[in-house]
Amino acid sequence: DHRLDARFVMRWIDILDRLVVEAEPQLTEFDAAIGDADHGANMTRATCACKAVLGDVPPLTTAAAFSEVGEALAQYIGGASGPLYGAIFLALGDSVPATTDIGAGDLVAGMREALISLHNLGAAVVGDKTMVDAIAPAVAELEQLVSVGAPFPEAVAAAAEAAARGARSTIPLRARKGRAAYLGPRSEGHQDPGATSSALLFEALRLAVGP
Ligand code: ADP
Ligand code: MG
Ligand code: MG
């Protein structure tokens, strides 16, 4: 079935970069409403740095590709989101087998580790109006569908939809983490920028896995 190699990681990042560039005005607008209007710029810089660090020649293992991406995000990208996205990819790099390629189940298990790592760093839970509101339901959907034997592309498509729903679910919420939390009730009625970019992460995964 699905074997995911370092080229797959490069495809995922390439597609994410394209989606982030397309969505940059929206990410900027969302962060202007409840933050400091730099999430679009932070994310385009982030995906550009990831593409640069991966280069043209794939790393030897999927795990190495994830780790390179994680280091680039954690080290070079400012804002709250850089280290948080960095933690996701560093956890993926640490938890998947260090073999040339990995199985779909390895990626799913890695995504659970990534969510734990995100929580360990940012301490946000579902409902705090953060990236976690998109990522947690997406990981749950992925695990659930893979556990009942759904084809991987179907599971990833469902996860992408869950992430998009999760991002929209942040609109009425009051932020409890990050700079939006300082706004208190004035953060209500706006979609969280980080949850929006996290939905793009899963949409890019869907497109990278293919039909
Ligand atoms: P900054 O807020 O430093 O300018 P960004 O604008 O790039 O950084 O990212 C803001 C996003 O980071 C928020 O929309 C939110 O989704 C996410 N975020 C902030 N703090 C946390 C946290 N503690 N845990 C998870 N996500 C967080
Ligand atoms: Mg910001
Ligand atoms: Mg900022």
The answer to the question of residue 37 being in a domain is yes
DSSP 8-state code for residue 175: P
What's residue 132's pLDDT? 98
Q: Give the Cα separation of 54 and 52 in Å (integer).
A: 5
The answer to whether the CB of 31 is under 6 A from ligand 1 is: yes
The answer to whether the CB of 166 is under 6 A from ligand 1 is: no
What's residue 178's pLDDT? 96
The answer to whether the CB of 175 is under 6 A from ligand 1 is: no
What's residue 76's pLDDT? 80
Give the residues of the chain that fall short of pLDDT 70: 1
- Counting ligands in written order, the one closest to the CA of 197 is 1
Tally of domains in the chain: 1
Nearest atom in ligand 1 to the alpha carbon of residue 38 is 6
What's residue 77's pLDDT? 84
Main-chain phi, psi angles of 64, to 5 degrees: -65, -40
ipTM: 0.99
What's residue 12's pLDDT? 98
What's residue 1's pLDDT? 67
Angle, to 10 degrees, between the axis of helix 193-209 and the axis of helix 132-147? 30
What's residue 39's pLDDT? 97
Residues contacting 146, CB < 8 A, separation 6+: 104, 105, 108, 152, 155
- Considering Cα of 81, then 205, then 4, then 152, what sign does the dihedral take? positive
Range of the domain at 104: 3-206
Q: Output the domain CATH number for residue 19.
A: 1.25.40.340
The answer to the question of residue 179 being in a domain is yes
What's residue 75's pLDDT? 87
The answer to the question of residue 137 being in a domain is yes
| Partners of 102 in beta bridges | 4
Which token pair is 18?
């394209």
Judge contact between 113 and 102, C-beta under 8 A.
no
What's residue 107's pLDDT? 98
Which token pair is 60?
């030897």
Which token pair is 161?
């939809």
* Ligand 3 mean position, distance from CA 83 (Å): 12
What's residue 2's pLDDT? 85
The answer to the question of residue 211 being in a domain is no
DSSP H or E segment with residue 3? strand 3-5
Q: Give the Cα separation of 133 and 169 in Å (integer).
A: 8
